């Protein structure tokens, strides 16, 4: 959402510059018409930015409303490529590293070190789900006294991602079907905490959605409003 704000401000600056240097100095209706096309073209970027805000809001809404998967049996019923929300714990079967961490992020002044096991296991009722990727976003992870963000065994987590399935191509398990989850968000905490946090985060994309739509309309009508006011003898400088 930070990028959404930056884009919104940048487009507003472009519209402001167009008005300051061209629109308010235009003297003919033909010139206004040309500038109105330019302003409308710039305004299209407000629509694109509104779309991104809408998608962000929709993703949060989906995560809030979707019934979480709590068992392996239910996970097997999820279609390949479908979104899924897991409600489980970091499986005790995961190998642990220093200080009993299963996965962790350690940062210094120059960079961050991120450790995620190749098969991060999330315990559900009846078995473990496998996280297949290591580039998920971490949210609300505990922080150690020395500033390391981590997950430990038995930590309650909510995982938001998509279902993946494949087939083993080599080795003794050749031909065996596999299933895993491509995680987008790994939140440390209960379902209730996750929902409360997500509801709070929905405010900003909702505001940005409305702001971009209003800004688009303003960019389209600004040249004609400016011309109308001047044609009526109202000073706009």
State whether 92 and 185 are in the same domain.
yes
pLDDT at 18: 87
The residue-averaged pLDDT of 25-52 equals 88
Nearest to 136 by CA among 120, 155, 152: 120
Say whether both 147 and 215 belong to one domain.
no
Q: Answer yes or no: do 129 and 172 share one domain.
A: yes
Domain presence at residue 237: no
Could you tell me the residue range of the domain that residue 89 belongs to? 68-190
Q: Is 56's pLDDT higher than 90?
A: no
Same domain, 92 and 108: yes
Any domain includes 49: yes
Rounded distance, CA 159 to CA 142, Å? 16
Looking at residue 236, its pLDDT comes to 43
Residue 219 and residue 155 share a domain: no
Does residue 131 sit in the same domain as residue 151?
Answer: yes
What does the pLDDT read at residue 182? 94
Task: Report whether pLDDT(122) > 90.
Answer: yes
If asked whether residues 73 and 182 sit together in one domain, one would say: yes
- pLDDT, one tens digit per residue, over 150-200 is 999 999 999 999 999 876 666 676 666 778 999 999 999 999 999 998 889
pLDDT at residue 20 in the model: 79
Cα separation of the two ends of the chain: 35
Greatest Cα pair distance, the chain, in angstroms, is 85
Reported residue count of the chain is 237
Which residue matches tokens 């946090």?
A: 197
Number of domains in the chain: 2
Sheet hosting strand 149-151, strand order edge to edge: 112-115, 103-107, 149-151
- How do the residues of the chain divide into helix, strand and coil, expressed in percent and rounded to 5? 45, 25, 30
Residue 235 confidence (pLDDT)? 45
> Is residue 88 assigned to a domain?
yes
| Residues in CB range of 173: below 8 A, 6 or more apart | none
CA distances, 41 to each of 11, 16, 17, 209 (Å): 11, 14, 14, 18
Question: In this structure, are 109 and 53 located in the same domain?
Answer: no
The answer to whether 182 touches 120, Cβ cutoff 8 Å, is no
| 29 and 131 share one domain | no
Q: Is residue 196 part of a domain?
A: no
CB 116 within 8 A of CB 143: no
Q: What pLDDT is attached to residue 171?
A: 64
Together in a domain, 127 and 46: no
* Claim to verify: residue 108 and residue 154 sit in the same structural domain: yes
Q: Both 108 and 160 in a single domain? A: yes
What is the token pair recorded at 37? 């096309």
Tell me, rounded to whole angstroms, the distance of Cα 50 from its chain centroid.
Answer: 14
């Amino acid at each position: 959402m930070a990028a959404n704000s930056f884009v919104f401000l940048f487009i507003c600056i472009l519209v402001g510059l167009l008005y300051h240097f061209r629109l308010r100095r235009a003297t003919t209706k033909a010139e206004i018409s040309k500038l109105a096309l330019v302003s409308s073209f710039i305004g299209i970027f407000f629509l694109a930015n509104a779309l991104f805000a809408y998608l962000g809001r929709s993703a949060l809404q989906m995560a809030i409303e979707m019934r979480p998967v709590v068992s392996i049996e239910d996970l097997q019923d999820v279609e390949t490529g479908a979104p899924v929300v897991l409600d489980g714990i970091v499986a005790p079967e995961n190998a642990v590293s220093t200080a009993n961490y299963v996965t962790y992020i350690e940062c210094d002044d120059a960079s961050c070190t991120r450790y995620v096991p190749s098969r991060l296991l999330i315990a559900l009722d009846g078995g473990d789900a496998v996280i297949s990727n290591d580039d998920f976003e971490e949210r609300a992870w505990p922080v150690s006294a020395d500033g390391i963000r981590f997950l430990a065994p038995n930590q309650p987590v909510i995982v938001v991602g998509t279902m993946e399935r494949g087939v083993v191509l080599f080795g003794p398990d050749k031909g065996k079907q596999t299933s895993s989850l491509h995680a987008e968000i790994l939140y440390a905490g209960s379902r209730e905490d996750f929902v409360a946090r997500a509801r709070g985060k929905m405010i900003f994309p909702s505001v940005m959605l409305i702001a971009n739509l209003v800004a688009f309309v303003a960019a389209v009508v600004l040249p004609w409003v400016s011309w109308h006011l001047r044609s009526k003898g109202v000073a706009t400088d």
